[in-house]
């Protein structure tokens, strides 16, 4: 299945241009720009990276090296609901591995994959900064789902929507 | 005696709005400092308070500020406020940005006055979406009320606060990694010197302070250095936000004086170890800091006491581990984290973090030998003090720390060809 082609929408372009004056150099708006794109499209395709580069006066590689350096950006499509499970120490102690396995069983895909209909993907992430409410899960860039119980993965999936 | 809080609002109180924060005495310290205190006087007061950075390194805040050039130089100066908090076990700055964002803004206003900064950039970790919204709302409110901008708090001087978001890389909590990231680049730390006070954001003099550090400043100005010094120990002054997580009944963030005994934090505040289990290990200040064994639980949580105990205070993020947990597995989780977060520019760190993870995996699976244990120490030795930033040191301390404190459990994996604690959590 080929992915639809994407371009920078006018609203995202406006949001990026509104970000630029906050910094002495336009390049500093890059991380926020990529967040805006990902919130709209779900990932940051190469074609859009080139548009952002042109907008901020950068070479395309200067955008791409940032996209590929930071775990929160995806160059390729992930599921519409990208379920990120923290597997670091506090969450691991609270049973994060069981949460991951439960999601894999119910969705029929492994970590790093997305379901055939493109609805879900599972990702293991490092500490989300919610150690007091382990296990912590984040879907896309929405507020955390906290205190996830490893024996209640069905409840988690209902919350994920 | 009840602890007097000044970082977090009282239970049940909502101080997120400007009105609520002002009703609680908010922004009085900023008004007083800007209208009544010379910048040098603010720096002297903060120096006298003994305030040390709450981001992990514990450096004197007043001293750091005094490294900044005098105002009126050829380049503008900036505050880079570090809210990237990604050290596993650490979730305290989030409490400030989500529950008391104006405290941070007020602290930034006073700090900017002290060092002559034109703007502050708060670099918040990208996952903190609620904190980002709350803080941006607070900044907008403060700007609309004339507390920020070209004429702020009644004085003619430009100062504004901007909130920016990271994107999931732990290394951006390292001060120069954060500066690179804020400039729109990969967050790879810079070589020092030059230090940020000379060459920081966009090549301009910059002070890098953690969110909690900046949030300590209003109380110091309001109540004075002597009051601040009366809290804590002589060399670790003031309250701090201890995050406590893992196998305890009431995990969370507790505002308590520096020097509070670890046992008190675990047993009184966090309600003790869960399910009546026995305490086994405690990570005292985020996973970068060497682990303590249960026998060390009477240590006080301040810089000097923890140093004597062979570890460090770090971020004050306490992870409590009970007797059911396998220490090799705990070390694996942490080694996997550092392998993932190494930025890759220094060979010792890039290769060393991967080696430590592989060695620990092999030991856990029962395929390891006693020689592998020596190799962990050897690799750790190659990683310390050899790299641009301290991530490599932290990865080495964590792995060798677990090995040193729980060596017999590591050896049991070798002799028994597998984990002696099959009921343990999985890595």
Lowest mean pLDDT segment, chosen from A1-10, B219-228, B353-362? A1-10
Reported as a pLDDT band with limits 50, 70 and 90, residue A2 is low
pLDDT score of B13 more than 70: yes
> Parallel, antiparallel, or unpaired: how do β-strands B232-233 and B239-246 relate?
unpaired
pLDDT at A4: 64
Q: Do residues A137 and A99 lie in contact, with contact meaning Cβ atoms separated by under 8 Å?
A: yes
**Six-digit token string for B14:** 């909502």
Q: How far is CA B199 from CA A21, A106, B78, in A?
A: 22, 52, 11
Q: What percent of chain B has pLDDT over 90?
A: 96
Distance of CA A102 to the CA centre of its chain: 21
pLDDT tens column, A105-153: 999 999 999 999 999 999 999 999 999 999 999 999 999 999 999 999 9
pLDDT-above-70 percentage for chain B: 100
* pLDDT band per the 50, 70, 90 thresholds, residue B72: confident
Distance of CA A125 to the CA centre of its chain: 10
Exposure letters B78-97 (e unless 16+ CB within 10 A, then b): bbbbbbbbbbbbbbbbbbbb
* Helix, strand, or coil (residue B236): strand
Treating both helix axes as pointing N-terminal to C-terminal, what angle do B28-36 and B101-115 enclose, rounded to 10 degrees? 10
| pLDDT at residue B300 is higher than 60 | yes
The alpha carbon of residue A70 is apart from the nearest alpha carbon of chain B, in Å, by 6
Contact B243 A132 (CB under 8 A): yes
pLDDT digit string, tens, across residues B22-57: 999 999 999 999 999 999 999 999 999 999 999 999
Phi and psi dihedrals of B279, rounded to 5?
Answer: -70, 140
Question: In Å, how far is B425's CA from the nearest CA of chain A?
Answer: 6
Whether B227 shows a pLDDT value over 90: the answer reads: yes
pLDDT of residue B1: 53
- Percent of chain A residues topping a pLDDT of 70: 98
Distance of residue A13 Cα from the nearest chain B Cα, in angstroms: 17
A128 CB neighbours in chain B (<8 A) are: 127
The per-residue pLDDT for A1 is 44
- Non-local (6+) Cβ contacts of B118 within 8 A are B76, B77, B78, B112, B158, B159, B160
Q: What is the dihedral of CA B168, B174, B177, B182, to 10 degrees?
A: 70
Average pLDDT score over residue span B324-332: 98
Nearest to B333 by CA among B361, B308, B298: B361
- Please name the residue of chain A whose CA is at the shortest distance from the CA of residue B343: A69
- Is the pLDDT score of B211 beyond 80? yes
SS3 A87: coil
- The contacts of residue B344 (CB under 8 Å, 6+ apart) are B188, B350
The continuous run of DSSP H or E covering B121 comes out as strand B119-124
| Chain-chain contact of A72 with B170 (C-beta, under 8 angstroms) | no
Burial class of residue B110, CB neighbours in 10 A (0-12, 13-18, 19+) = buried
Separation CA B253–CA B11 (nearest Å):
12
Which residues in chain B are contacts of A73 at CB distance < 8 A?
Answer: 167
Contact residues, chain A, for B202 at CB < 8 Å: 23-25, 28
**Contact: B246, A93; criterion CB under 8 Å:** yes
**Cβ atoms of B303 and B236 closer than 8 Å:** yes
Please classify residue B278 by burial: count the beta carbons closer than 10 Å to its beta carbon, then call 0-12 exposed, 13-18 middle and 19+ buried: exposed
Q: Are A69 and B244 in contact (CB < 8 Å)?
A: no
Contacts of B170 in chain A (CB under 8 A): 126-127
Please tell me whether residue A60 adopts helix, strand or coil conformation: helix
Nearest Cβ partner of B127 from A31, A92, A138? A138
Residues 6+ apart with CB under 8 A from A6: A41, A45, A47, A48
User: Which residues of chain A neighbour B94 with C-beta distances below 8 Å?
Assistant: 129-130
- Residue to mutate among A34, A86, A89, A124, with most B CBs inside 10 A, is A89
pTM over 0.95: yes
- Average pLDDT for chain B: 97
DSSP B269: I
DSSP string, B22-69: HHTTTTHHHHHHHHH--HHHHHHHHHHHT-B-SSSS--BHHHHHHTSP
The mean of the pLDDT values for chain A is: 96
Instruction: State the angle between helix axes of B370-383 and B347-364 in degrees (0 to 180), rounded to the nearest 10.
Output: 160
Q: What is the maximum alpha-carbon separation in chain A?
A: 50
Q: What share of chain A has pLDDT > 90, as a percent?
A: 96
pLDDT of residue B221: 98
Which residues lie closer than 8 Å to B307 by C-beta, 6 or more apart?
A: none
User: Do residue A71 and residue B162 have CB atoms under 8 angstroms apart?
Assistant: no
Q: How far apart are CA B333 and CA A126, in angstroms?
A: 10
CB pairs under 8 A between A and B: 152
Query: Which residues make Cβ contacts (< 8 Å) with residue B87, sequence separation at least 6?
Result: A127, B56, B170, B173, B286, B287, B288, B314, B315, B317
Q: Quick one: closest CA in B to A68, which residue? A: B186
Best probe of the B interface among A29, A75, A123, A132, by most B CBs < 10 A, is A132
Tens digits of residue pLDDT in B173-185: 999 999 999 999 9
Q: What is the pLDDT of residue B274?
A: 96
Examine the predicted complex and report whether its ipTM is higher than 0.90: yes
């Amino acid at each position: 299945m080929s992915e639809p082609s994407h371009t920078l929408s006018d609203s995202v372009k406006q949001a990026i241009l509104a970000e630029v004056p906050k910094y002495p150099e336009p390049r500093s708006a890059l991380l926020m720009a990529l967040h805006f794109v990902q919130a709209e499209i779900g990932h940051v395709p190469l074609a859009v990276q080139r548009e952002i580069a042109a907008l901020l006066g950068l070479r395309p590689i200067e955008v791409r090296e940032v996209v590929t350096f930071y775990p929160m950006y995806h160059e390729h499509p992930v599921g519409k609901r990208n379920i990120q499970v923290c597997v670091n120490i506090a969450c691991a102690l609270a049973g994060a591995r069981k949460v991951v396995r439960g999601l894999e069983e119910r969705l029929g895909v492994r970590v790093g994959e997305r379901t055939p209909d493109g609805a879900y993907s599972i990702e293991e992430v490092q500490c989300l900064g919610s150690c007091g409410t382990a296990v912590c899960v984040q879907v896309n860039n929405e507020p955390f789902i906290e205190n996830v119980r490893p024996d209640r993965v069905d409840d988690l999936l209902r919350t994920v929507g | 005696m009840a602890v007097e809080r000044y970082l977090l609002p009282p239970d049940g109180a909502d101080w997120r709005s400007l009105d609520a924060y002002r009703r609680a005495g908010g922004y009085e310290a900023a008004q007083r400092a800007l209208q009544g205190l010379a910048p040098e006087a603010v720096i002297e007061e903060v120096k006298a308070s003994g305030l040390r950075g709450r981001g992990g390194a514990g450096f004197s805040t007043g001293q750091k500020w005094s490294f900044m050039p005098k105002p009126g130089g050829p380049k503008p100066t900036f505050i880079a406020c570090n809210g990237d908090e990604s050290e596993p076990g650490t979730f305290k700055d989030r409490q400030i940005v989500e529950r008391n964002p104006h405290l941070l803004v007020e602290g930034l206003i006073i700090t900017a006055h002290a060092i002559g900064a034109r703007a502050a950039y708060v670099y918040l970790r990208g996952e903190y979406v609620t904190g980002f919204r709350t803080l941006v709302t607070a900044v907008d409110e403060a700007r609309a009320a004339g507390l920020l901008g070209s004429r702020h708090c009644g004085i003619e001087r430009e100062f504004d606060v901007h909130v920016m978001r990271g994107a999931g890389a732990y290394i951006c909590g390292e001060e120069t990694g954060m500066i690179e990231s804020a400039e729109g680049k990969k967050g790879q730390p810079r070589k020092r010197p030059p230090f940020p006070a000379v060459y920081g954001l966009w090549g301009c003099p910059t002070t890098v302070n953690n969110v909690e550090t900046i949030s300590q400043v209003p109380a110091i100005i309001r109540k004075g250095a002597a009051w601040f010094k009366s809290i804590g120990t002589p060399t670790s002054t003031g309250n701090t936000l201890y995050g406590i997580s893992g196998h305890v009944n009431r995990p969370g963030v507790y505002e308590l004086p520096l020097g509070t005994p670890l046992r008190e934090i675990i047993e009184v505040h966090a309600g003790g170890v869960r399910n009546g289990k026995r305490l086994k290990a405690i990570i005292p200040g985020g996973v970068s800091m060497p682990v303590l064994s249960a026998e060390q639980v009477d240590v006080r949580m301040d810089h000097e006491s923890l140093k004597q105990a062979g570890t460090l205070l770090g971020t004050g993020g306490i992870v409590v581990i009970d007797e059911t947990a396998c220490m090799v597995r705990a070390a694996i989780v942490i080694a996997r984290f550092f392998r993932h977060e190494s930025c890759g520019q220094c060979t010792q760190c890039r290769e060393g973090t991967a080696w430590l993870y592989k060695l620990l995996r092999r030991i856990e699976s029962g395929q390891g030998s006693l020689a592998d244990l020596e190799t962990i120490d050897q690799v750790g030795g190659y990683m310390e003090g050899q790299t641009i930033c301290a991530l490599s040191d932290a990865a080495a301390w964590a792995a060798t720390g677990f090995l040193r404190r729980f060596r017999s459990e590591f050896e049991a994996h070798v002799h028994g060809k597998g984990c002696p604690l099959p009921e343990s959590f999985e890595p």
